[in-house]
Amino acid sequence: MTASPANPTKVRGETILSVDNLVKHFPITQGVLFQRQIGAVKAVDGVSFELRRGETLGVVGESGCGKSTLARLLMRLETPTSGRATLEGKDLFKASGGELRRLRRNMQMVMQDPYTSLNPRMTVGDIIGEPFEIHPDAAPKGSKAKRVQELLDLVGLNPEHINRYPHQFSGGQRQRIGIARALALKPEVIVCDEPVSALDVSIQAQVINLLKQLQGELGLSYIFIAHDLSVVRHIADRVAVMYLGRIVEIGTEDEIYERATHPYTQALLSAVPVPDPEARDQRNMIRLVGDVPSPADPPSGCHFRTRCWKAQDICATEDPKTVPRAADPHPSACHFAELRPATPA
């Protein structure tokens, strides 16, 4: 395939997706007939970022931090409580009907679990070709099978396997099918929600390499959601760290991995298991105590203060903004942002 970025006027590096103060609160209700709202799970609580053309934005955080809800919001699988997002200047949440369909075509998703995200009763050809039924103009009549075979070839599967069923493939191969499906409509943005966390290490590396290679060939922009920081470092240009529905630190791969200033990012980095026994001996681990608080009842002020070793009175009263800090010019949401050698030398 020689699919280059379709339009030469589209410049690499310009903003393609812009998210502004996105909020999603899931109501908690009580009562059967007259359901009263007694609270809300603040899954995403004011998230802003920009995605540039051709780049990968990694989103990392522990379970319950809202990273998957963020993905579902961007795909419009959930309706946001408030906030705005624009894809190439068009409002993602105001669009409806034909306009929404066109927008969705430009933004596709790869799911986490390659076992449940493919319909077991459909052949691979039907799964990858299904987008063409919703968008008939994407593949001219009669060319569907050929296009599906091109896609199979592109993701490194045998094009002759078009009539096989998902169960005839291994986990890594199924994830390739999921990627081919996401690529079918030639989108510019792909949201990958934990695309490799269900795979074995040796297979995981194959899929990461495939995603990088496709990005180079097709000029794709990725939002790459993962809990594994080592994986994210391999693929991301910029990284956003989420904690309890908020981005607490965002910056280039280098800024986050080498010059993190937020205590949570530092703790997260120091907890990543390192296989090298000698590097383990040298590094200085931060042991966080306790668990992530419930997003239904987050702590006042800085959400991280209940587990933070730097917490002072101000952390409980004043909510730190995600803004550039004196310690390093990338945005970090900590009153006491400072550098620390976080990764082993």
Partner 1 sequence: MTVNPTPASATPEGGHLLELRDLHVEFRTNEGVARVINGVSYHLDAGETLAVLGESGSGKSVTAQAIMGILDTPPAFVRSGQILYQGEDLLTRSEEQRRQVRGKEIAMIFQDALSALNPVFPVGWQIGETLRQRAGMSRADARRRAVELMDLVKIPGAAKRIGDYPHQFSGGMRQRVMIAMALALDPKVLIADEPTTALDVTVQAQIMDLLADLRRELNMAMILITHDLGVVAGVADRIAVMYAGRIVEHADVRSLYKAPAHPYTKGLLESIPRLDVRGQELSTIKGLPPNLMRIPSGCPFHPRCPYVQQVCVDEVPHDLVLGDGRTSACHFAQEVRDDSVAS
Residues engaged in binding partner 1 (CB under 8 A): 62-63, 170-173, 200-206, 208-209, 212, 227-231, 233-236, 253-254, 257, 267-269, 271-280, 285, 287-288, 291-292, 343-345
Smallest gap from Cβ 344 to partner 1, in A, equals: 6
Smallest gap from Cβ 336 to partner 1, in A, equals: 19
User: Is 64 or 320 the residue whose CB approaches partner 1 more closely?
Assistant: 64
Question: Which residue matches tokens 């993962």?
Answer: 226
Q: Whole-angstrom Cα distance, residue 219 to residue 81?
A: 32
Non-local CB neighbours of 2 within 8 Å, separated by 6+ positions: none
User: Is 6 or 28 the residue whose CB approaches partner 1 more closely?
Assistant: 28
The H or E element that residue 27 is part of is: strand 15-30
User: Is 71 or 288 the residue whose CB approaches partner 1 more closely?
Assistant: 288
User: Is 159 or 171 the residue whose CB approaches partner 1 more closely?
Assistant: 171
Q: Compute the radius of gyration of the chain from its Cα atoms.
A: 21
42-72 in b/e form (b: 16+ CB < 10 A) is bbbbbbbbbbbbbbbbbbbbbebbbbbbbbb
**Taking a C-beta distance cutoff of 8 angstroms, is the pair 197, 166 a contact?**
no
Smallest gap from Cβ 40 to partner 1, in A, equals: 20
Smallest gap from Cβ 281 to partner 1, in A, equals: 9
β-bridge mates for residue 192, sequence order:
110, 224
Smallest gap from Cβ 144 to partner 1, in A, equals: 28
Q: Whole-angstrom Cα distance, residue 80 to residue 45?
A: 10
User: Is 62 or 78 the residue whose CB approaches partner 1 more closely?
Assistant: 62
Smallest gap from Cβ 212 to partner 1, in A, equals: 7
